[in-house]
């Protein structure tokens, strides 16, 4: 996920992040296929610990990763060294970056764009991506399709969301989630309670995710100078419908002068 100054704190530890998200690989075949289709340099924004960038590099992609979080990049670099991969990993901000080269594919996976809550942040993202794309290049991202039933959860309710071997020591880590929805900002505000079972020690970390409703997202893409080439409801490329859990958009810059 994208690391920016949005108040989210869950990217405090790369080892915990990887343990929490293992074995999630639903999106890997999709992004691997898109990287191969690009036939040129690839840039992953909000690359995190390299969950996607490393296997894409291993498969032969000319990929660069960019992320704002030091702990995430530290973990990614360690994993790249261990795998013997020469993977460029850059500390930078998805809202304002310039890497001195252009890419056939820029992608932002795993709901990372949902960390960009303000109009100015989103304008900066699309502007930077447009400058970074080579002619014929594509910008691909995925976000949740908001479910109103989920947005009305009891803010005092704690629900388990992860249970894994604690990478910081012996025993297990249980993560419970507390959720509230800020209707004015269209932001899901979560608190994850990391409880170490060996001694009961608990650490609380926040996660803020902007919700993008389907028609709003299409308008956002259009008025930032892009057109939607394809819209999927999941990573198997199923058509987007009201029941889709995801919004996966394949976009390209709109030709100058075309509305």
> What does the DSSP assignment read for 21-62?
HTT--TTHHHHHHHHHHH-S-EEEES-TTTTTHHHHHHTT--
Does residue 4 register a pLDDT over 90? no
pLDDT mean over 243-251: 98
Q: How far apart are CA 195 and CA 161, in angstroms?
A: 12
Q: Under 8 Å CB-to-CB from 87, ≥6 apart: which residues?
A: 50, 53, 54, 57, 63, 64, 65, 76, 80
Which pLDDT value is given to residue 1? 39
At 258, is the pLDDT very low, low, confident or very high (cuts 50, 70, 90)? low
Using CB atoms within 10 A of its CB, is residue 116 exposed (0-12), middle (13-18) or buried (19+)? buried
Quote the percentage of the chain above a pLDDT of 90: 92
Does residue 103 register a pLDDT over 50? yes
pLDDT mean over 168-188: 95
Does residue 3 register a pLDDT over 50? no
Q: What is the mean pLDDT of the chain?
A: 95
- The CATH class of the 14-146+212-253 domain is alpha beta
Give me 124's structure tokens: 């900066």
pLDDT mean over 188-204: 96
Does residue 259 register a pLDDT over 90? no
Return the domain boundaries, the chain.
14-146+212-253, 148-210
Model confidence, pTM:
0.95
Does residue 167 register a pLDDT over 90? yes
pLDDT mean over 168-173: 93
Does residue 184 register a pLDDT over 70? yes
Q: Where are the alpha helices (DSSP H) in the chain?
A: 14-21, 28-38, 53-58, 70-83, 119-132, 148-151, 214-223
User: Residues 198-207: pLDDT tens digits?
Assistant: 999 999 999 9
């Amino acid at each position: 996920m994208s690391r920016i100054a949005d108040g989210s704190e869950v990217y405090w530890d790369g080892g915990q992040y990887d343990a929490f998200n293992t074995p999630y690989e639903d999106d890997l075949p999709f992004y691997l296929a898109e990287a191969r289709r690009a036939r040129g340099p690839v840039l992953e924004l909000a690359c995190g610990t390299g969950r996607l960038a490393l296997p894409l590099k291993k498969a032969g992609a000319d990929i660069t990763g960019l992320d704002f979080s030091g702990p995430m990049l530290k973990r990614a670099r360690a994993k790249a060294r261990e795998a013997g991969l020469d993977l460029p990993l850059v500390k930078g901000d998805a809202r304002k970056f310039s890497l001195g080269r252009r890419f056939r594919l820029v992608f932002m996976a795993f709901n990372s764009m949902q960390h960009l809550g303000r109009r100015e942040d989103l304008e900066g993202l699309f502007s930077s991506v447009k400058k970074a794309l080579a002619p014929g290049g594509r910008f691909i991202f995925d976000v949740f399709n908001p479910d109103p039933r989920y947005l009305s959860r009891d803010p005092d309710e704690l629900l388990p969301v992860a249970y894994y071997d604690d990478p910081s020591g012996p025993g297990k880590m249980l993560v419970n989630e507390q959720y509230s929805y800020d209707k004015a900002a269209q932001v899901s505000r979560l608190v994850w309670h990391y409880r170490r079972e060996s001694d009961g020690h608990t650490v609380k970390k926040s996660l803020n995710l902007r919700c993008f409703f389907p028609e709003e997202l299409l308008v956002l893409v259009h008025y930032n100078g892009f057109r939607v080439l394809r819209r999927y409801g999941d990573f198997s490329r199923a058509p987007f419908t009201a029941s889709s859990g995801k919004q996966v958009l394949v976009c390209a810059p709109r030709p100058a002068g075309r509305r």
